[in-house]
């Protein structure tokens, strides 16, 4: 008999402003870099990164067009307009935490203004207040795949050190305004994705003259510094604030027991953990410095940078978990499957989702134990869920047993990890409500416990319906996990 979930465990759901809010030009909001990503003309689930970038020409076309047709993230799933209805549904679900993000462009529309936009600030204040009244703790990502477009086109995104100052002004504004309303903050969503999808994560546009990788590492350095500043300010504003980093954790298994495969898996794991090494331990690990040396990457640092990183490390480590990956010294002989952000060698032991992602509940236990053993700081699973097509039956119900099965098996693995000794703050599934996919911009790649009547072209009533999984999760939360059996 394993121990259960601890008292005060933060059961919740998660989503991001750029994928659910819509209302892209309402109440003074500026254009974000997500608002100009067009619907993909063709889906390629293996080369997923290609769907997450745009060119200068595409941006110019998007800026000249005022409307939502062809730009799914401008519509989201109408959560800005329907915030009260959604907050009521979340209260009914009984969640203890809502992981969400603030749209930077609602607070500083172009990112460079001296004064914030009061309409944007007031919106989130109303929402946080309502959540707290319902006993829901907001867990807020300061920048989740969203930054003002102006900072991308005029300043060059996070590669430019000036962006740190704009982020810090934004972060300080919200940290002060929501003092007492929000106590859990994440500085950046999946910070490692700056190396994988540099446009979506760091606002970097391609330049044929300048290879992307060194620019991405420079951008990351600036994001780490910005994160440390935000952590410093959060602690100054309210010592009760808890700040987390956020990693898309991708545990690599070796394809075989050949030591060369094992070494390659270890190398890829270390490279994935370089980000938490900086943000939790406070220093760049040797493997990254070696990588820079061997690839001719020179990072521009200023005096005091490394001290700042060392001094203002995060309080907890949050991460998304969707799958595990497979590594081999010679990957060319293996078949590939799709993946979150990039494809991987197909693991013959694991089934895959409709989008080709490995399904691996046991891997979540492996991941939790690895992270806990390495860092010994509280962990928080802030994303885990199944993207799937859902059918509405003639009686209007959605019987998403596939999602219930996914969550059941992943949460059983979580319970085992807690019994192993992992200190886990909470679990917020992705997502509470159907939203626009980050990578494919589809609504029909559904993650929610609440169905939204909308298709990929934006047609539909946007009305909300509780799926079968809603009732299942509600019971689970009410029993603090005991109904898992
Ligand atoms: C993570 C992102 C989320 C989310 C999720 C699912 O990488 O942090 O924003 O969308 O993955 O991915 P997708 O929407 O591409 O299916």
pLDDT at position 1 over 50: no
For ligand 1, atom 15, name the residue with the nearest CA. 439
pLDDT in tens, 328-338: 998 887 777 76
For ligand 1, atom 14, name the residue with the nearest CA. 437
Helix, strand, coil fractions of the chain, as percent rounded to 5: 45, 15, 45
Report DSSP state, residue 145: S
Give the DSSP H or E segment for 320: strand 316-320
N- to C-terminal Cα separation, the chain: 11
Residues annotated as catalytic are: 383
For ligand 1, atom 5, name the residue with the nearest CA. 438
pTM score, whole prediction: 0.97
Structure tokens at 104: 């930077």
pLDDT in tens, 238-278: 999 999 999 999 999 999 999 999 999 999 999 999 999 99
Residue 143 in contact with ligand 1 by CB distance below 6 A: no
pLDDT in tens, 231-241: 999 999 999 99
Residue 190 in contact with ligand 1 by CB distance below 6 A: yes
For ligand 1, the distance from its centroid to the CA atom of residue 209, given in whole angstroms, is 30
289 Cβ partners below 8 Å, 6+ apart? none
CA dihedral (53, 138, 340, 226) in degrees, to 10, reads 50
Most ligand 1 atoms within 8 A of CB, residue of 20, 245, 437 to mutate? 437
Give the CA angle between residues 250, 273, 256 to the nearest 5°.
50
Query: Is residue 248 a contact partner of residue 319, using CB atoms and an 8 Å limit?
Result: yes
For ligand 1, the distance from its centroid to the CA atom of residue 100, given in whole angstroms, is 13
pLDDT at position 66 over 70: yes
Structure tokens at 439: 């990578």
The length of the chain is 485
Q: How far, in Å, CA of 197 to CA of 181, rounded?
A: 32
E-assigned strand segments in 10-116? 10-14, 97-101
Domain parsing of the chain, residue ranges:
10-484
pLDDT at position 149 over 60: yes
For ligand 1, the distance from its centroid to the CA atom of residue 438, given in whole angstroms, is 5
Write down the pLDDT at residue 42. 64
Q: How far, in Å, CA of 452 to CA of 443, rounded?
A: 9
For ligand 1, the distance from its centroid to the CA atom of residue 188, given in whole angstroms, is 14
Atom of ligand 1 nearest to the CA of 387: 16
pLDDT at position 227 over 70: yes
For ligand 1, the distance from its centroid to the CA atom of residue 395, given in whole angstroms, is 30
For ligand 1, atom 3, name the residue with the nearest CA. 438
Atom of ligand 1 nearest to the CA of 189: 8
Atom of ligand 1 nearest to the CA of 341: 7
For ligand 1, the distance from its centroid to the CA atom of residue 302, given in whole angstroms, is 34
For ligand 1, the distance from its centroid to the CA atom of residue 187, given in whole angstroms, is 17
Query: Is residue 196 a contact partner of residue 220, using CB atoms and an 8 Å limit?
Result: no
For ligand 1, atom 4, name the residue with the nearest CA. 438
Write down the pLDDT at residue 345. 86
Q: List Cα–Cα distances, 66 to 25, 37, 199, 358, 378, in angstroms.
A: 9, 14, 22, 39, 45
Mean pLDDT taken over the chain: 95
Atom of ligand 1 nearest to the CA of 439: 15
Structure tokens at 424: 């886990």
Most ligand 1 atoms within 8 A of CB, residue of 77, 357, 430 to mutate? 430
Report whether CATH 3.20.20.80 matches the domain 10-484. Answer: yes
Residue 100 in contact with ligand 1 by CB distance below 6 A: no
Range list of H helices, 6-93: 17-20, 56-64, 72-75, 83-93
Query: Is residue 149 a contact partner of residue 30, using CB atoms and an 8 Å limit?
Result: yes
3-state secondary structure of 449: coil
Nearest CA to 277 out of 224, 325, 322, 211 is that of 224
Write down the pLDDT at residue 53. 79
Long-range CB pairs of 238-242 (<8 Å, 24+ gap) are: 238/175, 238/179, 238/180, 238/183, 240/183, 241/175, 241/183, 241/184, 241/185, 242/183, 242/184, 242/185, 242/315, 242/316
Q: List Cα–Cα distances, 47 to 36, 51, 60, 366, in angstroms.
A: 20, 8, 25, 27
Place of tokens 């010592």: 239
Percentage of the chain exceeding pLDDT 70: 96
């Amino acid at each position: 008999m394993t121990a259960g979930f601890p008292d005060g465990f933060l059961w919740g759901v998660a989503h991001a402003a750029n994928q659910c809010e819509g209302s892209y030009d309402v109440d003074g909001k500026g254009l974000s870099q997500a608002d100009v990503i067009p619907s993909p003309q063709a889906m390629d689930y293996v080369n997923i990164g290609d769907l997450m970038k745009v060119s200068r020409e595409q941006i110019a076309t998007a800026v000249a067009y005022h409307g939502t047709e062809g730009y799914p993230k401008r519509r989201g799933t109408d959560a800005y307009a329907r915030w009260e209805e959604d907050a009521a549904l979340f209260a009914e679900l009984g969640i203890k935490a809502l992981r969400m993000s603030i749209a930077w462009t609602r607070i500083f529309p172009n990112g460079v203004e001296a004064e914030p936009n009061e309409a944007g600030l007031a919106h989130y204040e109303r929402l946080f207040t309502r959540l707290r009244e319902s006993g829901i703790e907001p867990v807020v990502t300061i920048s989740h795949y969203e930054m003002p477009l102006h900072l991308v086109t005029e300043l060059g995104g996070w590669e430019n050190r000036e962006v740190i100052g704009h982020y810090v002004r934004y972060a300080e504004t919200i940290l002060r305004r929501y003092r007492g309303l929000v106590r859990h903050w994440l500085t950046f969503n999946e910070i490692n994705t700056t190396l994988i999808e540099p446009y979506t994560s760091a606002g970097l546009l391609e330049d044929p003259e300048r290879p992307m990788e060194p620019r991405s590492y420079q951008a990351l350095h600036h994001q780490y510094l910005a994160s440390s500043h935000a952590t410093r300010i959060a602690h100054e504003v309210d010592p009760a604030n808890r700040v987390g980093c956020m990693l898309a954790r991708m545990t690599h298994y070796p394809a075989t027991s050949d030591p060369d495969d094992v070494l390659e898996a270890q190398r890829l794991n270390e490279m994935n953990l370089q980000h938490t090494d900086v943000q939790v331990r406070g220093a760049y690990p040797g493997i990254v410095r070696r990588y820079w040396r061997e690839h001719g990457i020179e990072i521009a640092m200023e005096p005091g940078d490394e001290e700042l990183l060392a001094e203002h490390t995060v309080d907890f480590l949050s991460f998304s978990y969707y799958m595990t990956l497979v590594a081999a010294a010679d990957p060319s002989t293996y078949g590939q499957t799709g993946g979150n952000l990039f494809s991987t060698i197909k693991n013959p032991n694991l089934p895959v989702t409709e989008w080709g992602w490995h399904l691996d509940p046991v891997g979540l236990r492996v991941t939790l134990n690895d992270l806990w053993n390495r860092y010994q700081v509280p962990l928080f699973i802030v994303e885990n869920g199944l993207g799937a097509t859902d059918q509405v039956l003639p009686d209007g119900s959605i019987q998403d047993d596939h999602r219930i099965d996914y969550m059941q098996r992943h949460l059983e693995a979580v319970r085992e990890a807690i019994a192993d000794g992992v200190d886990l703050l909470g679990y917020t599934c992705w997502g509470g409500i159907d939203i626009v996919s980050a990578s494919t911009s589809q609504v029909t790649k559904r993650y929610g416990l609440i169905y939204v009547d909308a298709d990929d072209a934006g047609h539909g009533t946007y009305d909300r319906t509780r799926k079968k999984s809603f009732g299942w999760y509600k019971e689970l939360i009410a029993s603090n996990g005991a109904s898992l059996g």
